[in-house]
Structure 1
Amino acid sequence: MLKIGLTGGIGAGKSEVSRLFAAHGAVIVDSDVIAREVVAPGTAGLAAVVAEFGSRVLRPDGSLDRPALGTVVFGDPERLRALNAIVHPLVRARSAELEAAAAPDAVVVHDVPLLAENGLGPLYDLVVVVDATDEARVERLVTLRGMTEEEARARMAAQATRAERLAIADIVIDNSGPLEELAPRVAEVWARLRPRAASA
C-alpha cells in the first residue's frame, strides 16, 4: 500500500486531481467528506458538538447548521480548538478504517486541504501538491465560485503560502493552465505511483 497526502491551495484544482486519481483506481480518503459524515444526524459526533455548543448550531431538521457553527468558532481560537478536539479524532479514526479496508497493493490518496497548515506531511509515504499561480487561482475562484477578487485573495491568504506547500512536496502537479492539460499530468504521476504501491 502506498499512502499519498494530496493537497493544494483553494482554487488550485486539488478536487479535480483527486477525481482523476480515483478514475485510475486510487482509493480516495477525503477528509472534508468524512468531516461531514462524522457529524451527520444520529452520530456521536453531532451529539458531542451539540453538547459543547448548544442546540443553536442545529437546523430545524436536526442536522448541523454549519454557518451557525462557523459564526460561533470564527475568530475565537478557543472555541475552534474545542470543535477540532471533537471532530479531528473522529475524522482520523474513520480515515484509518477506510485505509485498512483498502487492498494491500492500493494507492490510497488522502485528500487533505490543510495538510501543510497542520504539519501532516510525515503521516504519508509521499506528499503530492497541486500547484497553480495565484493569478490562475483567483480567476477560478471568481469565475467558478462567484467570489469577488478581494474574497478570493482573502481566502488564499488564510491558507499556507505556495512556497510553504511546495516545501513539503515530493511530487508537484502544475495546474496553472487549462483543464485539458491536467489529465495527462495526473496519468504521468499515476504511472510512477502504481509500481511503488505494488512493491510497498
Structure 2
Amino acid sequence: MKKIAITGGIASGKSLVEKLFRGKGVATLDTDKVVHGVLENNKEVIASVQKLFEGYEGGIVSDDGGLYRKKIGKIVFSDIEKLKALENIIHPEVKRIVEAFFVENSDKELVAVSVPLLFESGMEKMFDYVVAVTASDELRLQRLIKDRGMTKEDALKRMSAQNFGKEKLEKADFVIENNGTAEELRSAVDKVFEKIKAR
C-alpha cells in the first residue's frame, strides 16, 4: 500500500485534490474533519482543551458538551503559543485515527490523507509520498473571504498561522499548482496519480 499525504496552505485546494484522488478509487481521509470529530466527541481531548482555555469570556464548551470551534479558532489564530498547545493536545489523537485508517484500508493499492499541518505535526514520516498543493496568496485570500465568509483580517491571520513556505515545498515529492481552472487541476492530479502508481 502506497500512502500519500496531501498538504498545503489554507485554501490552496487540498480538499479538491483529495476529492479528485477519491474519484480515482483511492481511499481518502480528511484530517480537518477528523479534528472536528475529535473536538466534538473525544471527552479526554475536550477536557484538556477546556483546561487550556480556562477563563475565556463565555467559555468554549457548547451546551451539548462539544467545543465552539469558531471561538477557539479566533483565539488561536491570534496567539501562536495557544495554537501550538492546542495542536499538542489534538495531534496524537489524529495520528491514532490515521493509523487506524491505514489498517482498515491495508488491502488498497493507494490511500491519500489530507493533512494541513503535515510537517508541524511530524506526520510526514507516516507517508511514502507528499503532494503539496499551492495557490497564490491573492487567490487564497479571495477564496477565504468569498467561499468561507471570513473577514479579510481573519483570513490573513489564518494564512499567517498556517504558512506554507518554500522550505516545506522542497520537502514535497510532488507539487500541484492550483491557480488555474478545474480542468487544469484535474490534469495535474492525473499526472501525479499516474507517476505514483508507476513507482
TM-score (norm 2): 0.81
Structure 2: distance between partners of 1:44 and 1:90: 10
- Correspondence 1:38 to 2:38: yes
Is the Cα contact below 8 Å between 1:27 and 1:106 reproduced in 2? no
Residue among 131, 134, 154 paired with 1:131: 134
Structure 2: distance between partners of 1:93 and 1:37: 13
Q: What's the CA shift for 1:126?
A: 1.1
**How many aligned positions are there?**
195
- Correspondence 1:180 to 2:183: yes
Is the Cα contact below 8 Å between 1:57 and 1:68 reproduced in 2? yes
1:41 and 1:169, CA in 2 relative to 1: closer, same or farther beyond 3 A? Answer: closer
Which AA in structure 1 matches 2:79?
G
1:42 and 1:135, CA in 2 relative to 1: closer, same or farther beyond 3 A? Answer: closer
Structure 2: distance between partners of 1:60 and 1:95: 29
Runs of 4+ in 1 over 6 A off after TM superposition: none
Q: What's the CA shift for 1:144?
A: 2.4
Structure 2: distance between partners of 1:45 and 1:106: 33
TM-score (norm 1): 0.81
Structure 2: distance between partners of 1:3 and 1:65: 32
Q: What's the CA shift for 1:31?
A: 1.4
Counterpart for residue 28 of structure 2: 28
1:47 and 1:118, CA in 2 relative to 1: closer, same or farther beyond 3 A? Answer: closer
Q: Give the CA RMSD over aligned residues.
A: 2.7
- Correspondence 1:60 to 2:63: yes
1:195 and 1:105, CA in 2 relative to 1: closer, same or farther beyond 3 A? Answer: farther
Q: Deviations over 1:70-125 (max 9, x none)?
A: 45655262x44543333221111111101111133431212111224445433321
Q: Deviations over 1:129-160 (max 9, x none)?
A: 11222233233333323445554444323333
Aligned pairs for 1:13-24 within 5 A:
13-24=13-24
Which AA in structure 2 matches 1:169?
A
Counterpart for residue 12 of structure 1: 12
Instruction: Please give the secondary structure, in 2, of the residue aligned with 1:130.
Output: strand
Identical columns (%):
38
Which deviates further from its counterpart, 103-112 or 149-158? 149-158
In structure 2, list runs of 5 or more residues that go unmatched. Answer: none
In structure 1, list runs of 5 or more residues that go unmatched. Answer: none
Aligned pairs for 1:23-172 within 5 A:
23-41=23-41, 43-50=43-50, 53=53, 56-70=59-73, 73=76, 74-75=78-79, 77=81, 79-149=82-152, 151-172=154-175
Structure 2: distance between partners of 1:130 and 1:57: 32
Structure 2: distance between partners of 1:81 and 1:154: 15
